[in-house]
Structure 1
Amino acid sequence: MTAETADLTTSQRVVRQYYETTSSRESFTPAMMERQIVTLERLLGDWAPQEGEVVVDLGSGMGETCAAAVARGAASVTGINLSASENELARSIVPQATFVEADIVAGLAALPDASVDRITALNILEHLDKQVLAATLDQAMRVLKPGGSLIAMTPNAGSPFGAMTRYWDITHELAFTPSAFIQIGRLCGFSRFDFRECGPRPHGVVSAIRYVLWQAIRLGIKIRLMIELASTKGGIYTADMLTRLTK
């Protein structure tokens, strides 16, 4: 530990060195980025950034989501990320995007009111405590245009394997359920809430088989919940879930 990091919490130290501790476990290659873009587009579907949009990506990592937004013709793409090492790599990979070194609340606070069409927050909100989460959603509401949306991917506490994703990363603070997102979203002024599973998307024989098998597994989960609780508890059972909060 250096004098510079002596006053930081363990979580803050890991986040500031996220590239060294987490992201750089695999060497980056252009082929890896291409696969990431294809995977993101399959995962997000029509929730992905659209042509002509102003897009902000929170916790932008090595620039994967920003690269996908650029590839889809977004008018402007900005990544906000506290890790200097990840930002340096992202700038070299996606020179068409702007990468801001800041925590996400401060990064959003620097943006004008009603100036953004879409905010993406994939694998970042779970790193925040409840106070910072509320501040983030408050700022997101402010900067989004009317009808704009925040797209999040988070650990799903409603999954039988939700604890695995919740504790996969030492800096995770939270896991979410649809009910929890509606609760905090309403508090921060959002008006519409949509949820999707992060499950297999058919695009070939193997993925189609995985999709069919997953449908059988989720039916079993649903039956179990109906027996115990007389409720499907939102019907989102994958270890991660997608959420769209609309202004």
Structure 2
Amino acid sequence: MKKIGQTLLLAILITGCKNEPKQESTVIDEVKQEQIITSIYPESITKVFNAHGNIEQWNKMNTLSFTMTKPTGKEKTTKDLKTRAELIETPTYTQGFDGETLWINEKDGNAYKGKPQFYKGLMFYFYGMPFVFGDDGISYEETEPLVFEGKTYPGILISYEAGVGESSDDQYKIFYDAETGHMQWLGYTVTFGKAEGSPDFHFIRYNNWQTVNGLLIPKSIDWYNYENNVPTEKRNTVEFTDVVLSEKVLDKAMFSMPEGATVID
């Protein structure tokens, strides 16, 4: 009986030793996977991503929504972060994109006078900083820093491979705080509807952040006037309220074109 007891105890100990390394290996594999994902980006943009909660956390999210208050009333944007389907709801019209079809649904006889192709995804892109620069088809380069009111901000030039997005000739510049890594400025060109790229950079200041679901995202942004491709004085502020950033997957039907809506070619 004593020998049987010793044999049984030895078997239990061996079984326990076999199980422990598997748990440790799983943890190591997860760390390695995170390092692999992060390593596909240059060090500078990785520093910015990490300062805002890291790109891996952003990639877990499926839904983003936010509201802006405009002179005509509240404008709510809802975005599927994986398919980039979008719904923009305002008092006078609704604009939608189901991943393939762009549509406008006018309300109460209000004629829509905007540019839906240009506006599709526009505010989402400005709001999703800096994480939208983790998309595929993007190139990163160092650029000259921005000096504003005596402070120097290191810069990253963002450009796109041909055929990526609506305006692949667009260029962006992120300027960030060298100590914290927080994004502070965005410079961007506007090439939509133009035959070639633009040399003029517009500027948005990002210095008011909020934490939602582990990610540091804008609470408001400031558009600046510019001269000689540098910002001068603040022009206006856009605030974001009712922000939702979630892993929840939305019903695709919410982006579908309703009866009576107009397809935008």
TM-score by length of 1: 0.30
**Which has the higher relative contact order, 1 or 2, with Cα contacts under 8 A spaced 6 or more apart?**
2
Q: Which has the larger radius of gyration?
A: 2
Structure (1 or 2) with the greater strand fraction: 2
TM-score of the superposition, structure 2-length normalised?
0.29
Name the one with the larger helix percent: 1
